[in-house]
Amino acid sequence: MEINVTSTQTIKPSSPTSNEHKTYKLCLFDVFQLNTYFPLILFYRKTNYMQEFSNVSTRLNDSLSKTLTIFYPLCGRRNDIFSIDCNDEGAIYMEASINMEMEEFLSPPKLELINELLPCEPCKTHPYNEILPQILVQVNIFKCGGIAIGLCNLHTILDAYSCSLFLKTWTSICNGSMDEICEPSFSISSSIFPPRNTSGVREGVLNINKDLEIELECSTKRFLFDNKSINELKEISSKNDEIETKLHTTYKVLSSFICKHMIVACMKETCDASKRQVVVLHVVDMRRRMGEGLLQNSIGNLLWPAMVVCENVKKDTKISDMVRILGDGIGKVNEELYLKLKNDPSFLWSDECGELMLEGMENKNPISFVFTSWGNMGFKEMDFGWGKPLWIAQRGGTKETIPNTVVLMETCEGFEAWVTMAEKHLDDLENDVEFNRFAMLNPNINFNSVDI
């Protein structure tokens, strides 16, 4: 595959940001985020609704400019640790041509090449004092006329939910559905959870990601769990637990199943596997658990880590046990916790917070796993005017990155797990017979799965 970047430009907002909005205040949780880009790629096949690309390009440019007027902080640059200077410097917009048919690229998806569809290297941690654009876009045109829109979103003010709000607005403006524009709130998150001087905050809070290992050679693989497999896993996880059956969400069941087999793969060559501590971090979106409707359109990293200790996980460990442990851990991340964070300025210094963050666990040399879900956020509904995405992708390739991470992505067929591990551990996972019973490794994309 050859990819040729044909243009690079800076898209500024269609109207200048007013003086009253020149400074955007970060919320408490934005301050804790790594200075890194998280990726997203939306694939659209050529359809009768898609015009010549020159017209498509003009529509994307114009609608992005109008969207940035609404999402004005995305045009700014980091001012200091607590704020963004909304100076209208703009977003980076690139276009590239690819000498390959989209169907060839996706049969099966060329994960080793997929990062080339992104405007910058994803998930690379940059120094906090490095000034970076908030968002970069790369529009890739395949030989067949299909396009893939790759985004790299700086984690400073965007989490996956915030990114979905941005895309909902961009697609609504682009396809002319002005009544569906999502009006974001840029002040609520920082007013409810204002940034604070973090001097003396419990070490576990500031170092959520500090002790995660960095591997020189990590690969990302895609596994599909179709709806049939998901339902079967739910039944297995609910045996002898009829009362709790209805509470076993897809996320709990899938993450528990995947986590068990990842742990087994990582511990395969470890002689003291039964002695080494395992910590699983689940990223929880507080909008869904806070109980306050006003947070629903709030921009910011409204996230909190649910830290779970998993002991003595082996091949014969029951998924129902993993689900129960996960449920107990996530259950602690609730409205009561957020009210403490909101109302008690000293909570981050408290013993209770230290306990939630498993303070002191780093001294036991634990092996860490990180799970997050991008399900039910509407990514598969993003229609720029030529239909819904054929497929949504994350990242691939082999690179230096944080290992043992999983992103769950919703599809028309079920859920995909994008798993990043050291190559030797990923090989063991791929060869796990029980895992392969439910997980399909990087199957072809079904070009008939999307209604246009």
Complete DSSP assignment for 418-447: EEEEEHHHHHHHHT-HHHHHH-EESPPP-T
- Locate 56 and state its tokens: 């498509």
Nearest to 86 by CA among 16, 22, 157, 166: 22
pLDDT of residue 196: 74
* Spatial CB neighbours of 83, under 8 Å, sequence gap ≥ 6: 23, 24, 25, 26
CA separation for the pair 256, 250 (Å, rounded): 10
DSSP 35: B
User: What's the angle, vertex CA 198, arms to CA 192 and CA 203, rounded to 5?
Assistant: 115
CA separation for the pair 298, 293 (Å, rounded): 10
pLDDT of residue 202: 57
Burial of 209 (0-12, 13-18, 19+ CB in 10 A): middle
Q: Which residue has the tokens 């001087």?
A: 197
Residues 329-358, buried b or exposed e (16+ Cβ, 10 A)?
bbeebeeebbeebbeeeebbeeeebbebbb
Residues spanned by CATH 3.30.559.10 within the chain?
3-192, 203-375+398-441
pLDDT of residue 101: 96
User: What's the angle, vertex CA 348, arms to CA 343 and CA 353, rounded to 5?
Assistant: 105
CA distances from 327 to 6, 157, 253, 362 (A): 49, 28, 10, 23
* Spatial CB neighbours of 249, under 8 Å, sequence gap ≥ 6: none
Query: Regarding the domain delimited by 3-192, which CATH topology (the fold level of the hierarchy) does it fall under?
Result: Chloramphenicol Acetyltransferase (3.30.559)
- Locate 25 and state its tokens: 């205040």
CA separation for the pair 167, 174 (Å, rounded): 10
* Sign of the torsion formed by the C-alpha atoms of 448, 449, 451 and 452: negative
Is the CB of residue 196 less than 8 Å from the CB of residue 124?
no
CA separation for the pair 136, 429 (Å, rounded): 33
* Sign of the torsion formed by the C-alpha atoms of 50, 394, 104 and 435: negative
pLDDT of residue 450: 59
Helix (H) or strand (E) holding 281: strand 278-285
Out of 3.30.300.10, 3.30.470.20, 3.30.559.10, 3.40.50.720, select the CATH number for domain 203-375+398-441. 3.30.559.10
- Locate 425 and state its tokens: 């551990």
Largest Cα–Cα separation, the chain? 62
Q: Which residue has the tokens 């080339």?
A: 116
Nearest to 40 by CA among 147, 150, 123, 141: 150
Question: DSSP 3-state helix, strand, coil percentages of the chain (rounded to 5)?
Answer: 35, 25, 40
- Locate 66 and state its tokens: 């109008």
From first CA to last CA, the distance across the chain in angstroms is 28
Please state the pTM of the whole predicted model. Answer: 0.93
- Locate 165 and state its tokens: 């709000």
- Locate 339 and state its tokens: 């009210």
Helix (H) or strand (E) holding 83: strand 83-85
CA separation for the pair 343, 56 (Å, rounded): 48
pLDDT of residue 214: 57
- Locate 416 and state its tokens: 């995909």
pLDDT tens for the 452 residues of the chain, in order: 999 999 999 999 999 999 999 999 999 999 888 899 999 999 999 877 677 888 899 999 999 999 999 999 999 999 988 999 999 999 999 999 999 999 999 999 999 999 999 999 998 888 888 999 999 999 999 999 999 999 999 999 999 999 999 999 999 999 999 988 988 999 999 998 888 766 555 555 544 444 444 556 899 999 999 999 999 999 998 875 554 545 578 999 999 999 999 999 998 866 555 567 899 999 999 888 776 566 789 999 999 999 999 988 999 999 999 999 998 999 898 889 988 988 888 888 888 988 888 888 877 778 999 999 999 899 999 999 999 999 999 999 888 888 999 999 999 899 999 999 999 999 999 999 999 999 999 999 998 765 54
Q: Which residue has the tokens 């010549």?
A: 52
CA distances from 140 to 131, 247, 341, 393 (A): 26, 41, 43, 14
pLDDT of residue 209: 46
